[in-house]
C-alpha cells in the first residue's frame, strides 16, 4: 500500500497526505506541530512501539512529504484530512495525540465527527480553547502578536523560522543541555522545506475558536504542557482548557519549553505510555 492518501485536488494536481503506519496493537495517531512534520515524534514513536502500540504519523497538508496546495489551511479542512486518514485505514478505538497545532485537529475532529472512533485524546502544548484576545476572551493573546508573526514570515520566512525554533526550545536556557544545535538545524531544514503559503496561512488557523468543540470531547484526555512555554503560554491555553474537559488529567512539565517532545521526552513518554495503556 502506498504511503499516500488522496484528500483532494487542486487544478491539475492531487492533494495527498503522507503517512507512516508501524507496529501492531492499540492504534495511536500522532499529529505534529507547526512548522515540522510527522518525524518530529521520533522519541514518542519509539516509546509507543516498545509499549506495544500501532503508531501512525502523518504530515499535515503543506508540510513534510504531503502535498503543498495553496488552499485548505483551516481546522475544518485539517479535521477532514484526519477523518480521511482514519476512514481509509479503517481505524477504530484509536487514541488521538496532538502536539501544539496538532491539538487543534484533535479538538476540531471530535467537535465535527464525534468520538465513535476515538478511545482517548492527548493534548501536548495545546492551543485551545481560544488563543486570541477578544471582548469575550480576555485571557487570550493580543491579536497584534499574530499579525507580527505574519509580517515576519512574509518579510523573511527562513529567519523567522530560526527565531521561532530558538523560542520553541528556550534555546538560551536548554541549548547544549536538553537540545543540541543539530536538532535546531534539522528542525529548520524541515520547516524551511514546508509550503511558504501554508506556513503563513496556518497562523490564522491558530486563532480559531475551539470553545464549541471542547464540550464534544467526552473521552479520557491527558493534557501535558511545559510551564516555561514561550510559544503557547499555559495561562492562555492548557490551564483554561483543562478546566473545560470533564475527564482531563493535566500535567505541567517543570521547566518545559514548548518543544517538550524532545527536551522532556522521557517524562512525556512515561505519561503517554501510562495513560494509553
SS3 180: coil
Residues 6 or more apart whose Cβ sits within 8 Å of residue 235: 139
Cα–Cα distance measured from residue 228 to residue 162, given in angstroms and rounded to the nearest whole number: 19
Annotated active-site residue 209? The verdict is no
**Cα–Cα distance, 131 to 168 (Å, whole number):** 17
Q: Which residue intervals of the chain are DSSP H helices?
A: 42-50, 75-88, 101-113, 143-168, 171-174, 181-192, 196-206, 238-244, 260-263, 265-276
84-107 as b/e, with b when 16 or more CB fall inside 10 Å? ebbeebebeebbbbbbbbbbbbbb
DSSP string, 128-151: -SB-B-BTTBTTSB-HHHHHHHHH
Tracing cell 516498545 back to the chain, one arrives at 50
Known active-site residue 66: no
Task: Please report the DSSP string for 192-203 in residue order.
Answer: HTS-HHHHHHHH
What does the alpha-carbon distance between residue 222 and residue 32 come to, in Å, rounded to a whole number?
16
Catalytic site residue from 40, 66, 95, 100: 100
Catalytic residue among 229, 237, 238, 264: 229
Distance CA 36, CA 191 (A): 5
User: Given the DSSP bridges, would you call strands 118-124 and 94-99 parallel, antiparallel or unpaired?
Assistant: parallel
Active site residue 264: no
How many other C-beta atoms can be found within 10 angstroms of the C-beta atom of residue 204? 13
Question: Which residue in 205, 233, 220 sits closest to 271, CA to CA?
Answer: 220
Residues labelled as active-site residues: 100, 229, 258
Amino acid at each position: 500500500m502506498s504511503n499516500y492518501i488522496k484528500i483532494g485536488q487542486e487544478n491539475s494536481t492531487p492533494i495527498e497526505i503522507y503517512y507512516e503506519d508501524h507496529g501492531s496493537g492499540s492504534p495511536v495517531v500522532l499529529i505534529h506541530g507547526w512548522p515540522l512534520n510527522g518525524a518530529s515524534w521520533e522519541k514518542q514513536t519509539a516509546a509507543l512501539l516498545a509499549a506495544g502500540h500501532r503508531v501512525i504519523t502523518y504530515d499535515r497538508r503543506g508540510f513534510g512529504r504531503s502535498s503543498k496546495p495553496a488552499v485548505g489551511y483551516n481546522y475544518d479542512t485539517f479535521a477532514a484530512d484526519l477523518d480521511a486518514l482514519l476512514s481509509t485505514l479503517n481505524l477504530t478505538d484509536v487514541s488521538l495525540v496532538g502536539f501544539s497545532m496538532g491539538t487543534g485537529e484533535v479538538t476540531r475532529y471530535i467537535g465535527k465527527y464525534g468520538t465513535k472512533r476515538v478511545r482517548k485524546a492527548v493534548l501536548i502544548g495545546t492551543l485551545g480553547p481560544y488563543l486570541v484576545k477578544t471582548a469575550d476572551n480576555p485571557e487570550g493573546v493580543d491579536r497584534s502578536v499574530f499579525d507580527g508573526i505574519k509580517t515576519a514570515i512574509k518579510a523573511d520566512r527562513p529567519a523567522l523560522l530560526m527565531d521561532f525554533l530558538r523560542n520553541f526550545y528556550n534555546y538560551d536556557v536548554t541549548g547544549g543541555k536538553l537540545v543540541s544545535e543539530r536538532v535546531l538545524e534539522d528542525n529548520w531544514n524541515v520547516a524551511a522545506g514546508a509550503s511558504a503559503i501554508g506556513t503563513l496561512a496556518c497562523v490564522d488557523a491558530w486563532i480559531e475558536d475551539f470553545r464549541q468543540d471542547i464540550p464534544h470531547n467526552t473521552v479520557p484526555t491527558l493534557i501535558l504542557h511545559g510551564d516555561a512555554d514561550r510559544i503557547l503560554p499555559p495561562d492562555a491555553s492548557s490551564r483554561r482548557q483543562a478546566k473545560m474537559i470533564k475527564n482531563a488529567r493535566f500535567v505541567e512539565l517543570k521547566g518545559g519549553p514548548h518543544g517538550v517532545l524532545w527536551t522532556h521526552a522521557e517524562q512525556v513518554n512515561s505519561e503517554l505510555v501510562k495513560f494509553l495503556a
